[in-house]
Amino acid sequence: MTPRTTAPDLTEARLRELAGERSFARGRAYVDAVSAVEVRDDRIRASVAGTERYTAELTLGRRGLAGECDCPYGQEGNFCKHLVAVGLTVLSTGFDLPRRRARSRDRARGLDTWLAALPHAELLALVREEAAENHGLRRRLELRAASARQDLTEVRSLIRDLLDLEPFTRQGWMDPADARAYVDQAGQAVAAIRSLTGSGRAADAVTLAREGIGLLTGTTASIDDEDGRLAEIGAGLAHAHHEACRAARPDPDELARWLVTHALRDEAELTGLDPLDYTDVLGDRGTTALRERAIEAWKANRGGWPEKYLIQRLTKTGRDADMVIALHAADLAPNGHTHLLIARELEASGRPEEALEWAERGIREAENLATVDTALIDHLSDRYTRADRPADAAALRRDHFTARPSLLTYQQLRATAQVAGHWPAERERALALLRTANATVLLAALLDDKDTAAAWQTATESGASAVQWTTLADQLRPTRPADSLTIYQRLATPLTHQTGTKAYTQLVALLLSIRDCHQRLGTQNDFTLYTAALRTAQKRKRNLIALLDEHGL
């Protein structure tokens, strides 16, 4: 048996599963483009040549096989063809990963031993030589040195350089490779700020974190951050700032001012910084100041979405009903919807009388009762009923029905008037209105009331839809089967000229009703002749005939 020389999770099947068939197939074609394979303890890194040269890295960790690549597709979090190519290269060339990992650890230990044995002067010369050739290393070392000697001016200057986007952008655009390099560099700034907090200089860290957030958000207006890399740095700076504030405990009023100012900036989403996360630092005094600042900003710009969103969150968190009312009252909707929101807020705060006043005000101030928010009508009618004011509830429903005559408003008026005990009178008024306003709704109301005599008269005089005729026939059938039969047969005739499952199903349903009418009338022979003629005329419609057979017709 051949001994296993690769990681258990590094198999063709696993590569295919992670990448999908398309990327796996493309990865096969890139095996020859893989070079400079490096093996670390749990990582395999290689260069893959394509339209550009990309760096792909496989991770063989406890959670199984994973990978990262700096190609555009890989930057979106996908397991790309380059990662497949690296994995297939390792599998096809017989890499002995355990042995290579052991060699990597031996090299690391050897390097550590050698560096530890170097005389101070030689080690210093080596570091200077490497720093001179590696700009990134030199900048990291300079930042550490400035932090160690507590040179805040120099640290600030270095952090500003690390967060400077200009060297990485081309006409306001940052390509994936540049974005990766920038994130690596900017990450050093975040680490430096956090190290200041850890070394007891949290107040300085607060200042530098704010400056860093300002630099980042102030220079990204023209940068496309579709892959979220700038947001990653923004979130890191926000976390460093919060961490520093916990340690430094800055003035609550001043912190509240800064938090509100930042939250109202258009670029605030880049950091994800939420003022409400700082309640542990602000305390009662700072939280009050935060809300007051938010109110001031909202009053100055009531139409601004950031201002409105912030104050809504703050008011809901503090359950300050008066603030919520002020927010909604500044922009009352003509259909009464905001009046309803205020009424609900007041009820939740245990102020039912004021809630009722706002609901009634919504009705009074509505531009047109026909377009008023029906939820407000329902709310106020319910409150009148609860307060043992059924007459007021019925009057409200009557006014709403008059303004918007429909089957629904008719049903609501009926339900409310029945509770009040005067539905007959209300019904006469409502039907009188419908006779002059809308014959279709009139017939729907009569059918809903099951007033078959009046519904028959209305349908005969003013006409009806097929659905209404069917409903009327269904209601008439127990007592007037002959009239129902006439309706059903009239509805069935046009269906015999149609094809398709829907038409066949409707026709069969009507035939079942026609059969029932004949049974009630004692004329079953007439039905037999009717269906026989129908089957003869429709014999070419095999699906219809099968459906008739299925129902015994």
Tokens representing 94?
A: 């017989």
Mean pLDDT of 49-78: 82
DSSP string, 479-495: T-HHHHHHHHHHHHHHH
Closest C-alpha among 91, 75, 117 to residue 5: 91
Determine the Cα angle at 178 with ends 138 and 219, to 5°: 90
Model confidence, pTM: 0.50
Side-chain-facing half-sphere of 386: CA atoms under 13 Å = 9
pLDDT at residue number 311: 76
pLDDT band at 2 (very low <50, low <70, confident <90, very high): very low
pLDDT tens digit string along 227-261?
666 778 888 889 999 999 999 999 999 999 999 99
Closest C-alpha among 1, 80, 66 to residue 33: 80
Q: Show me where the domains of the chain are located.
A: 12-117, 123-250, 477-550
Which residues are 54's β-sheet partners?
48
| Nearest-angstrom CA–CA distance, 278 and 259 | 9
Main-chain phi, psi angles of 539, to 5 degrees? -60, -25
Tokens representing 246?
A: 């916990």
Mean pLDDT of 18-44: 87
pLDDT tens digit string along 261-306?
988 887 777 788 888 889 889 988 988 888 888 888 887 887 788 8
pLDDT at residue number 525: 93
pLDDT at residue 1 tops 60:
no
Main-chain phi, psi angles of 47, to 5 degrees? -105, 140
Which residues are 60's β-sheet partners?
65
CB under 8 Å to 290, separation ≥6 — which residues? 256, 259, 260, 275, 278, 282, 314
pLDDT at residue 3 tops 50:
no
CB 268 within 8 A of CB 235: no
| Nearest-angstrom CA–CA distance, 263 and 228 | 19
pLDDT tens digit string along 475-515?
999 999 999 999 999 999 999 999 999 999 999 999 999 99
Which of residues 7 and 165 earns the better pLDDT score?
165
pLDDT at residue number 249: 93
Which of residues 12 and 155 earns the better pLDDT score?
12
